[in-house]
Structure 1
Amino acid sequence: MQYNPPTFDRRALIAIGVTLVFWASSFAGIRAGLESYSPGALVLFRFLVASVTLGVYAVLTKGVRRPRLGDLPWIVGGGLIGITVYHTLLAYGELTVTAASASFIIGAVPIFTGLLAILTLKESIRSRQWLGIAVSFSGIGLIALGEGGHLELEAGALLILLAAFCTSIYFIIQKRLLRYYKPLEVTCYAFWAGTLFMLVFLPDLIAELPAAASGPTLSVIYLGVFPAALAYVTWNYVFTRTTASVATSFMYLNPIVATFIALLWLGEVPTLLAGFGGLLALAGVIITARSVR
């Protein structure tokens, strides 16, 4: 029987747009939340909200099964690396790196994922892919040098680069789990496991929450409900309406949208060097992606 891919319609386009805006806004939301919260308290608060939101959704839809015992190491490891470590590093990185530059660095995730696939899945790599990787990392280097407005290596950018590497590892783990579990199940398992590890920041959250301003608090609640929880639901819907290659092609717009949101929300304007580096990093990702199609 010939496989016919799902039809790409207006509802799928709306779902992609909603997901894109939510995920792009998360970088500005983190910067806003850091005005009252330390990075650890912020990520715990965010994922407590996200875990409860997904828990309610899972109960109402009855869409989450109990995981198999043999898959628990992968589930726990994915939650630790892809949720706890990734989001903690990202939050610490955004103490000094603008939201726009952070989004461009995270945009290099497909580069890391491709390299990991070569190492773990023994996939080959073409010369054009190497070109894309070189271009992308050159752009990230310019961001790291230009974030402070002068030629000085920015440690926060390196933390975010490490965060991008961590989420790439999570994507490899996720690919294994998706052989048996639904996307919603994998998301819930990762969020719940990752949140448990974040409880080490509970004393910080208890100390900071009463004194926090309402603006940063609402920003963190927004991060938990929309970019962290609901965006995954809309993204899952997208994959029921179109192919993965079509859906993910829209994500190249994410850093551009994040830059405009940061400008409107925070008034952040990236430096010329960091802005050029961001565009260069995005170009490298696109070159690499097109070479494998």
Structure 2
Amino acid sequence: MNPKLIISYFLLVLTMLLWAANFHVVKIALEYYTPMSVATLRFFFGVVSLLILFYMQYKEKIFKIRFSIKEWWYLFLTSFFGIFLTIYFFNIGLKTTSAINGSLIIATSPAITGVLSFLFLRTKINLKQWLAIAISFLGVAIILMKGNFSKLLQLQFEIGDIYILLMAIVFSLSQILVSKYLSHIDAITTTTITSLISFVLFALFSLSELTVTQLPSSIPFWASILFMGVLSTGIAYTAFYYCVVKLGATVSSLSMNLIPFFTLLLAIPFGEKIYGIQLLGGIIIVIGLVLFSFAKKTRPL
């Protein structure tokens, strides 16, 4: 395999690990502050770290970067769907649903992205790839039902689950936007600009709240904010958009199936119980991802 592809897949897996940790870490922050304010503080530190990376990449050339009006429009749409709405639904959803439930629902992203890719990119998904997606979802189903598929008929969704599902939809849409309209812009530039736009949106919507409430002084709160801001935002978003460009929207989206598996593994240090059937489901998810990676590449219709 091409060394650049190996690096891309490594970065993709690392991103999924950081985002899986977010399902646990954000719950710590939400114990102290509201979803919108948590997002604002997260992206304050995220944007600072991104600007540092951005400057290291371009130095004085940073002031020579120009975008057309159309490019600015797609950067705004990507930030609105891929970051602002995605993180808002993520935070408000995890106020009422569990970290594991949230990670399982976000695993619907590959199917959503596949449909959107077909509609907007005219991408054809071959039989092997659909089979790989089905295997991955089998793993998700095993985890969700704990091996007892009779529970499927009794499945009831809470409002938090609905918010996480909305998160999966808008995030998938943002991947299509990046793949179709912004693939010519490098990952660090796309990530920095979209994160900066999103930070402004978060700040505007939480301004009244931030000005009348006192910031928490708890160490766990600020540790969680820094983790989400620097690692899960600055590092992870840059890596993910890089992988969308290098590997395609559908491959990158399928990797979302790793999030439930990593979330289960991280449940141990966070004090949550996990069961053998959940590990089995996680392994099946990984098998599906590997099969998809080696399937015949998609091609335009």
State whether TM-score is above 0.5. yes
Are the counterparts in 2 of residues 135 and 281 from structure 1 also a CA contact under 8 Å? yes
Are the counterparts in 2 of residues 36 and 208 from structure 1 also a CA contact under 8 Å? no
> In the superposition, relative to structure 1, how do residues 153 and 232 fare at CA in structure 2: closer, same or farther (>3 Å)?
closer
Structure 1 position 206, deviation (Å)? 3.9
Q: Choose the corresponding residue for 2:166, options 141, 162, 181.
A: 162
Tell me the residue number matched to 1:136. Answer: 137
Letter in 2 for 1:136: F
Q: Per the alignment, in what secondary structure is the counterpart of residue 264 of structure 1?
A: coil
Pairs within 5 Å for 1:1-293: 5-6=2-3, 18-62=14-58, 65-125=65-125, 132=133, 136=137, 139=140, 143=144, 151-199=155-203, 200-233=205-238, 244=247, 252-265=257-270, 267-269=271-273, 275=278, 282=285, 286=289, 289=292, 293=297
> CA–CA distance in 1 between the matches of 2:112 and 2:55?
35
1:81-105 Cα offsets, whole Å, 9 max, x none, are 1100001001111112222222222
1:166-193 Cα offsets, whole Å, 9 max, x none, are 0100001111344321111111121111
Are the counterparts in 1 of residues 258 and 285 from structure 2 also a CA contact under 8 Å? no
> In the superposition, relative to structure 1, how do residues 178 and 12 fare at CA in structure 2: closer, same or farther (>3 Å)?
closer
Letter in 2 for 1:193: I
Structure 1 position 222, deviation (Å)? 1.3
Are the counterparts in 1 of residues 104 and 260 from structure 2 also a CA contact under 8 Å? yes
Structure 1 position 45, deviation (Å)? 0.8
> CA–CA distance in 1 between the matches of 2:49 and 2:185?
20
> CA–CA distance in 2 between the matches of 1:95 and 1:215?
17
1:221-246 Cα offsets, whole Å, 9 max, x none, are 21001111123455678899xx738x
Are the counterparts in 2 of residues 104 and 281 from structure 1 also a CA contact under 8 Å? no
> CA–CA distance in 1 between the matches of 2:173 and 2:282?
24
> CA–CA distance in 2 between the matches of 1:163 and 1:281?
24
What is the aligned-residue identity percentage?
21
Show structure 1 runs of 5+ residues with no match. none
Are the counterparts in 2 of residues 112 and 168 from structure 1 also a CA contact under 8 Å? yes
Give the root-mean-square deviation of aligned CA atoms. Answer: 4.1
Show structure 2 runs of 5+ residues with no match. 149-153
> In the superposition, relative to structure 1, how do residues 259 and 138 fare at CA in structure 2: closer, same or farther (>3 Å)?
closer
> In the superposition, relative to structure 1, how do residues 174 and 209 fare at CA in structure 2: closer, same or farther (>3 Å)?
farther
> CA–CA distance in 1 between the matches of 2:76 and 2:238?
21
> CA–CA distance in 1 between the matches of 2:74 and 2:174?
10
> CA–CA distance in 2 between the matches of 1:18 and 1:138?
20
Instruction: Using structure 2 for the length normalisation, give the TM-score.
Output: 0.75
Instruction: Using structure 1 for the length normalisation, give the TM-score.
Output: 0.77
Structure 1 position 260, deviation (Å)? 1.8
**Which segment is superposed worse, 106-115 or 56-65?**
56-65
> CA–CA distance in 2 between the matches of 1:283 and 1:5?
21
Letter in 2 for 1:62: Y
> In the superposition, relative to structure 1, how do residues 20 and 186 fare at CA in structure 2: closer, same or farther (>3 Å)?
same
Q: Per the alignment, in what secondary structure is the counterpart of residue 95 of structure 2?
A: coil
> CA–CA distance in 1 between the matches of 2:230 and 2:241?
16
> CA–CA distance in 2 between the matches of 1:166 and 1:285?
23
Structure 1 position 8, deviation (Å)? 6.5
